[in-house]
Structures are given as C-alpha cells and as structure tokens.
Structure 1
C-alpha cells in the first residue's frame, strides 16, 4: 500500500457522506431560474445576495460541474427524483444562457459538453444536439499558434490546459458516443494531449503549467508557470481516456507520471492543496474526479497512489467541515477547518461546496465494486 493511501474507511461510508453533501448543496443552492417551472440552476453563493437570487451572477461552468455531480449521485444511488432534477438543470442552463448551449470560452463549453454527454450515457437524456454544437465549436478552436492547441476563449491570445484537457476528453468520448462524433475527433484529442505534453509539461516536476500567450505571428511570448490542481486532473483524464483504448500508445505511462508528480508536489501529507474561492474552488475537486476515474487503468503502485490521494483528501474535507442550516459546509482548503460562510469567506461559494461534494463522490466511486 502506498504511503499516500490514508483516510481509508469502511465500505459504503463514503457513499453515505456523498449523499449528505448532495442534500446540503441541493437544499442551499438549487432554485428555479427566474421562477420558471421545470427549470433549476445552482445559486453561486449561500447565503445568496441579490445577484445570486436573480441569477445575474450564475457562473456557466460551475453549473456544468453541478450537473456532473448529480450524474455521479445518480450512479451512486439511482432515484427518479434526481433524474428529474438533472433534466431541470439541463433546461435551466439553456434558459439562463438565453437559448444557447455555448459561450465564448472553450473551457466552459468543454465542461458542459462532458456533463451533457454523461447525462446522455448514464441517464438517457437526449443531449445529442447540444453536444454536437459544443464539439463543433471546440474543433474550430484549434490553430497552429503556439505550436497547436485550442484557445482559452474566442479572440484571445492565450492557450491553456484548462481548455485543451476537457476538450480532449470530450472529443475522445464523443467519437465513440451513440450520438456520433466526427471520425477525426479521436485524432484531435491525441493532438491536443500531445500539444499539452510538448508545450506545457514542466520537465523538472512533471506537472503541467497553466498555459501560454502567443503573438499574432504564432510565436510564444510568455508561459504562465503555475501548477493548478485541475490542470493535472484534466491532463490525466485525457491520457487515461486515450490509453484505455490505445494501451500501446504511451498514454498510460504519461498518466502514471502525472499521478506521481501530483503526489510529490501538490499534496502535502497526502491531501491535495486547494486554490481557495471563486473558480479556484473547483480545482481540487476536479483533480480528484480524474484520479478516481484513472485508478482502474493504472499499474498497481500508481493506482494505490491515486486512490490514496482521493481518500486522504476526502477524509480531510469531511473531518474539517463545519455545520450550518441545511447540513455540512466544506472548507475551501481541505486540510484546514471550514469557516462559517459569509460574504467574506470562500466557503460561501457554490464552487467550494461542489468541490467538497465532488471529492466525496470520487471516494464513493472507489469503494464500489469494479
């Protein structure tokens, strides 16, 4: 057993804890969009201010992860009520996005595409048209500037792992989906993952930098040398997605490398470090999702490391929770006790609470039979 495998507990306990987290997030954050029947959306903060109540602040990509968490929960404990909520959330996202599935950010739309595809695969929702629209936009995002990759957003000069990672995962999955992707999507996924390896992998640590800026002539002007947890998660996810169907392509060796790099540099005492508040509230949770998904495909030693990181992080998030009306409040940094949510604390953000729920669902996934 790896020295990182801490926090392991009795079977089924993580599923129960994930259920508690789900109820807290749903009770506090999930509401109709502008009072419209048959819709739902996650308020971006609790207690909510006017902007969250009216959904003038709504954080498109956070809703994608809320949808992903609900799909996780339905796989853990399938019930008709949750399937209904999933349909309402999908409808609510489109209503709030004024009838569109996309926006200008390639990372945002890739996240929603992944969640919609999972809702189709596991719950039978008809999301084919939405996924097709999203994948069409992602395909169009590739250029040779900076050596390849897709942009962070339209009209920008930045290319990064947070856009290319989820896009690669989505395109690899969509190519196999019943809804039918483009036959070249798998090669696009390979190209995106190879670009991340070539352009943004730090040779000293084995971790992925955030992204790079390019000039109009395509030359690289600057590299953002920050190691965000979710960059490692989506790169790992892309390598595993490709390696699961091409074990001889070297993809799983890259997955092993990033698991060990994450354990060595981003998880003091085995607990994944957080990026508190705002969008950063989701970063650690995303990493645990893809660590858990990677476990069945990794060699034993690397699988033990990945499993240990998830379980130790889940244990820390649960142990350091606080209690408020509606249930637990998870800490912005899992290794430290949570603060009571208020306008000045990151625990108020939906992103932070989704990350706490996400790590518990990842742990629950690991305790289910393979």
Structure 2
C-alpha cells in the first residue's frame, strides 16, 4: 500500500523544479548557434569547452524524452505561456526539445545515425513522442521528426537478423545482441504499427534472455566458439523497462501476464532499503551508479508508470508499480541538495542537485565542488515525471489507493 498524501500538484511542481535544474545547469546552445540546444555531460559550476567533452548521444536522447514529459504536462495546463515550466518568457519544453534534436544532429556530424542501435532506438522513441506533442500543440517540427524515423528505421531493420535465433544487434560490430537494443527497437516497432516485428523480438527475448528463476531479463547473448549461444547474465534495472513498455504496447493475455510478472520481480529483486536519503522506511529501486548506469533506474521508472496506469493489469500489479515509482521519486526529491552560493554563477540559484542513488542523499554522492553527471540528473527528473504521470493517470485505470 502506498501513500497518496502528496497531491498531484506537488509532484508536478517537483518535476518542474527538476526540469529547471537540469536545463539551467546543463543546457546550452551548441556553439552559440541559434535554434539549437544541447546538454553538457558534466557540470562543475562553470562552463566547459563543448568539443572537449565526451559525446553521449543516448544521454541526449533521454533528455529529449524528459522534455517531452514536461511538455505533456504543459499541454495539460493549456499549453499557454503561463503553463511553461521555466516561466512565460522562456521557450516551452516542446520547443526546447525540438532545438535539442537539431543540436543532436549537428553535434553528431550532421546525421542521426551512429554506431549503436540502442542509442538510435532511444532517440527514435523520443522523436515519436515529440511528434505527437507537436501534433497536439500544432507546433512546427513534424517534418524533422519524420526524418528521424526515416533515417533510423532502416538501421533497425538491418540490426534485426536471424543470427543467434533473432533479436537486435547492439552495435555495428554485430557481435552481440542484447536486451538494451532489442527491447526499445521492439517498442519502436510496436508504436509504429509493425506489430509482428515487435512480437518476434519479444519472443526472442523470452526464449533467449528471460531468466524464469528470477523473472527478469538478462543482458545479452553472443556467439560462442562452437557455434553455441553464450548468455551474458548481468541483470540491470533499465533492461526491464523497455521490455515492460513493449509488452504493454502489444497487449494480449500472454504479454500482459509477463508484464505483471516482471513488475513483481522488480519489486522483489531490484529494490533496496530506503532511508539513507532522508526518506521514510521502505524500499526504493536500486540505482546503478554513474556513467551510463546513471540513467538506468529513471528509465525503469518511466515504464513502471505506464504499468501503474494500465487498467488491463491486476490491481495489485498497478499498485506495486505505482509504489515503486512514487517511493523512488520521493527519495530523490527528499535527498536533493541546493546549489550553494559560491558554487556556481548567480543564474544557478534555486537549482538542485539530485543524488546518484535514491537511497542516499545528494550531499553524500555529490558534495559541493564535485563534478555532477548529466545522466544522474536526468534519472531523477525521469523519476519525478513518472511520479507526476502516475498521479495524473485516468482514475478508472489507477488502483483505488492512488485515485
């Protein structure tokens, strides 16, 4: 049973605060070019030379997705200047996301294609959601979003082969197929009407990478020296998220039963005790550290929020998914710390730093002066957006404890 004592408006305010913090601390124009936006991959209280920093394509793709989340809430508020997360005189979240997609193409050598199929799948999914937001708000940019799909769909088609029995290659080395690539590609296919392709990818995941003993999806598979299949048995939080999304998108009794089982297994095996972040006793989703792992739990929260609002799932499953999202987001919120005076420029006042781990306070994982990674801040933002989505879902689809 979860607490619904925090009202929807408070979760929306928290998500807006996270949006302002991330865009304010990390967001910049690309090389001062008008009509562009991009996020620095690290913040340490000062601006850094863009081209000297590493290029993390998929971090930016999730930045797009976070801005779409915020844009959808702005749409719910009437899509007026007064509803904008950063004030009426600032660009809307959807407008900023469009600039970000433009910035990504320029920074990525004038193309949306790169060497990793999972990276491209995350951008394709974000661009789909951005396109729907543009349609709802009657904003320009839909031709560009269509170009994203047109350039990336052939990449996915080429990555989905019969090698190893099916699935999607992770990179253009074509020596490893894994859940991080196969699941978001399956979700992309499902959302673009290619349901048979999506189901075939899910069937491969179920046959090759689903661990029935744990009820979760393992990391990947590669060809062995004797022509066999070698399974990489690492277990990550974010692998479960896009599989859950694809299962729900396709629906059907078997997929929905598997989705419910995954939610339960996440609760049993991918949570840790709360309390270190100043939260109440209980459990929160485990987090996977910095680097790419800094995004993992936020991604899982995004798709757990879909499960929490899906009336086709059992009430207990929806309540579990909602509790995982709200408790984890609440821990990120209560464990945040302010940007201290003297730590950065005056424009950073009122911003917050979120912890690497939901179960630990930000003051411990990111003390003043420490470099702060974009991935970890997007993770907390995603969790807070997921919590706002859970609380704003159709009351008919949300368990009674949440409505």
TM-score between both structures, scaled by the size of structure 1: 0.90
Q: Does 1:101 align with 2:112?
A: yes
Contact 2:335 2:358 in 1 (8 A): yes
1:227 correspondence with 2:238: no
Q: 1:133 to 1:342 in 2, by over 3 A?
A: farther
Inter-CA distance 105–49: structure 2 relative to 1 (3 Å threshold): farther
CA contact (8 A) 2:41 2:53 kept: no
Aligned equivalent of 1:207: 216
CA positional deviation for 1:296 = 2.5
Which of these residues, 342, 360, 364, is aligned with residue 388 of structure 2?
Answer: 364
Q: Give the whole-Å Cα distance in 1 for the aligned partners of 2:49 and 2:373.
A: 10
202-211 or 73-82: which moved more? 73-82
2:84 aligns with none
Aligned mates of 2:103, 2:176 — CA distance in 1? 30
Which residue in the other structure is 2:39 paired with?
A: 42
Report how far residue 131 of structure 1 moved. Answer: 0.8
- Provide the aligned C-alpha RMSD in A: 2.0
In structure 2, distance between residues paired with 1:285 and 1:128: 27
Aligned length: 352
Question: Given the alignment, which residue of 200, 205, 210 partners 1:196?
Answer: 205
SS at match of 2:177: strand
1:300 corresponds to 2:324:
no
Query: Which of residues 323, 330, 355 is equivalent to 2:338?
Result: 323
- Of 13-22 and 334-343, more deviation after overlay is shown by 334-343
Matches within 5 A, 1:143-154: 143-154=161-172
Matches of residues 77-226 of structure 1 in structure 2 within 5 Å?
Answer: 77-78=74-75, 79=79, 81-82=91-92, 83-124=94-135, 125-126=141-142, 127-175=145-193, 185-215=194-224, 219-220=228-229, 222-226=230-234
Query: Could you tell me how far apart the structure 1 residues matched to 2:368 and 2:58 are?
Result: 21
* Equivalent in the alignment of 1:350: 374
| 3-state DSSP of counterpart to 2:111 | coil
CA drift of 1:218 comes to 5.2
Structure 1 gaps of 5+ residues are 176-184
Q: Which runs of 5+ in 2 are unaligned?
A: 82-90, 136-140, 273-281, 341-347, 395-403
Identify the range of structure 1 (271-280 vs 73-82) with the bigger mean alpha-carbon deviation. Answer: 73-82
Aligned equivalent of 1:264: 268
Q: Of the two structures, which has the highest relative contact order with CA contacts closer than 8 Å and spacing of 6 or more?
A: 1
Post-superposition offset of 1:10 = 2.0
TM-score by length of 2: 0.83
Distance 1:324 1:192, change over 3 A: same
CA deviation vs aligned residue, 1:129-181 (integer Å, no higher than 9, x gap): 21121111101111222221010001231111000111111111112xxxxxx
Query: Quick one: distance in 1 between partners of 2:210 and 2:152?
Result: 27
